[in-house]
Structures are given as C-alpha cells and as structure tokens.
Chains A and B, each alone.
Chain A
Amino acid sequence: MYKYFDNKLKKDSVNLAPGEFFVSGDDIVINTVLGSCVSVALYDSERKIAGLNHFMLAEAKLRTESENIFNVERYGLNAMESLMTGLIKLGSSGKCLQAKIFGGSAVLETRGGGQMEIGADNISFAEKFLKAENIPVINRDTGGVRARRIYLYPQSFRILLRRVKPNVELRDLMDVYKHKLDETKNNDGTTVLF
C-alpha cells in the first residue's frame, strides 16, 4: 500500500496491492488495479465511511458441492472480515452496509497461466459472503477479459472505473501475490494459550 497525491484527481490517494485493504471516512481516493482478483467496496451510509479490499482465493475449485465455501476459503474470508472490522473500528454498526463488487476477469495474468476460472470463483465467493452477511450489492462490474483500475471515493461511495490492458507491472504484482498465497496457504496465525 502506498499513499500519494494524485495530480489528476487532485486528491490524497491510497493505492492497494493484492491482499491489502483500506477504510476511510476522509476526502481521499482509494484505488487498485484488478485482473482476476476481486475488490469489494463496502459503504456505511449512516457514517459515510467506506473501504476497499483486493483479494484472490488461495485454493479455487478445491471445494466440493457439499462443502461449506467459508470452511475452505479462509483467505477470502479473512479479506472480507478485515474490511468489515476496519469499518467497525471507524464506528460502523454494520447495519447500514452496501457493497459494490469489481474484478474477477478471465485474464491470463500470471506467468504460469491457467487463471481462467479463478476470476469467476473470486466473484462467486464475494457474492456468497455478502449474501451470508445480508449486505446488498448495489453495483458491480465483474467478469470479462479486461483488467480494471478502480477509484473509490469513501465519503460518497462513488466509483470511477477504467478498463486497462494487462501489462507487465500487473503480471508481476499477480505473480508475487500468487506466490505468497501458495507459500502461506497452509500457514496458520499465531495461537497462544495464556
């Protein structure tokens, strides 16, 4: 994540890398570039605060029909929970939340390839999570074959979206993120007994 002043938008901005999230009630812009990854933007209409995450499932297609998706997909779950927790820390009651979903395109963006189904799985996970939380999805721009750059204005929940061609920089980012997921997908967080 890096913070900078966007000269075109004339706003303080936060750029998210894959795996990151940010919440704010300030007059800023939160942006990220998405290929097959998904970003969920959550907005608390009461508090006028919003947040954005950027994630990919670590183990798409591992689940069977009978399995609970939330039981398998702990990284997606963590990405969503971190975003909701961020809003709660800024004072959200969690009762007036709305969502927008972006990304999940079928773009072959990692050097290993084979990412065609991951985008669809990422979208499906986000939808199932939001349904379980009873959070309405009021807008979406998902799927397709182009990458996206999105800009979130947290105070108004306005989103600017620009379609972009997958480039070397995006591929490198995805490679690093995918490698990190592969390396850590079996790792647990710390457990301490007092």
Chain B
Amino acid sequence: MGQSIMIVDDSNAIRQSVSFILKENGYDTMEACDGQDGYNKLKDQKVDLIITDVNMPNKDGISMLRELRATDTHKFTPILVLTTESQSSIMQDGKSAGATGWIVKPFSNDKLIATIKKVLG
C-alpha cells in the first residue's frame, strides 16, 4: 500500500489531474471538493500528506489548514498548498496557518512529485 494523500480542490478537473499523477507514482489518493469537505473528511482521518487549493467555496484552503492544525490528528501532517496564487502576502498567510510548502501553478508532474518526495522524506 502506498502513502496516502488527500487532495482538496473545488475543481474536478484539477483533482482528476493531480490524482492521476499521484497514482501513477504509487500513492493512494483521497479527494475533497472544498475546505469544509476536506475538514470533515480529515478531522479524524490520518493521512501522510494533504494537498490543498486556496480559493474554494464554503471554506478556503487556508482556513481549513488552520483548523486542521488545531486538531491532534494533523498537528504534524505535511500540508502543501497548490494554487494559482503567488502573492507573497497570501503565501505568508499560508505559512502562518501552518502550511509546509507552497506550489504555484502551473506545475510539472516531475516538480510536483519531487516536492512530495522531499516533504515525505
């Protein structure tokens, strides 16, 4: 069984794309369609890594991140933000909320996998 990765993104196409890349590289994936869905699915569920978008309806990725960091389950889970946002102030918000890293789209498969491997050790 591969390491488990939760993908949180409101775009089906993006989830489909990221999930395809991760599965090809031996990871098990789970999906959530926004920050609220992500929080509900993750609050009692341990995973090896979380990848989240920022701008989503219902709950944004940074708010979800902050709430997950307040749980015992995800105090130390690596969380990567994968987004089109590249403003340093938003990146700083992510860092303050507890993000492990920030990947600005567009991304190549190789870059994404290399970053995940680095984060997962």
Contacts and interface: CB of A to CB of B under 8 A. Distances in A.
Interface string B74-115: 000000000010100001000100011111111111010001
Given A80-B13, A189-B86, A191-B111, A74 B105 contact: yes
B14 A189 contact: no
A81 B104 contact: no
B40 interface: no
B84 A194 contact: no
Contacts of A132: 12-13, 16
Given A77-B14, A85-B55, A129-B13, A189 B119 contact: no
A64 interface: no
A67 B107 CA distance: 17
Interface stretch (A31-39, A89-97, A98-106): A89-97
Contacts of B73: none
Given A84-B11, A133-B12, A134-B12, A71 B21 contact: yes
A75 B17 CA distance: 13
- By size class, the interface of chain B is 20 to 34
A82 interface: yes
Interface of B: 10-14, 16-17, 20-21, 55-58, 84, 86, 91, 95, 99-109, 111, 115, 118-119
A193 B101 CA distance: 4
Contact of B106 (A78, A133, A193): A78
A193 B56 contact: no
B108 A188 contact: yes
A192 interface: yes
Given A81-B84, A84-B11, A88-B57, A189 B16 contact: no
Query: For the complex, would chain B's binding face be called helix, strand, loop or mixed by DSSP majority?
Result: mixed
A68 interface: yes
Interface of A: 68, 70-71, 74-75, 77-78, 80-82, 84-85, 88-89, 92-95, 129, 132-134, 186-194
Contact of A192 (B20, B91, B111): B91
A77 B106 contact: yes
B17 A193 contact: no
A77 B13 contact: yes
A153 B104 CA distance: 31
8 contacts: A77-B14, A84-B10, A84-B11, A88-B10, A95-B57, A188-B106, A194-B100, A194-B101
Nearest to B11: A81
A70 B13 contact: yes
B114 to A, nearest CB: 9
A68 B11 CA distance: 15
Contacts of A129: 13
B57 A94 contact: yes
A80 B11 CA distance: 10
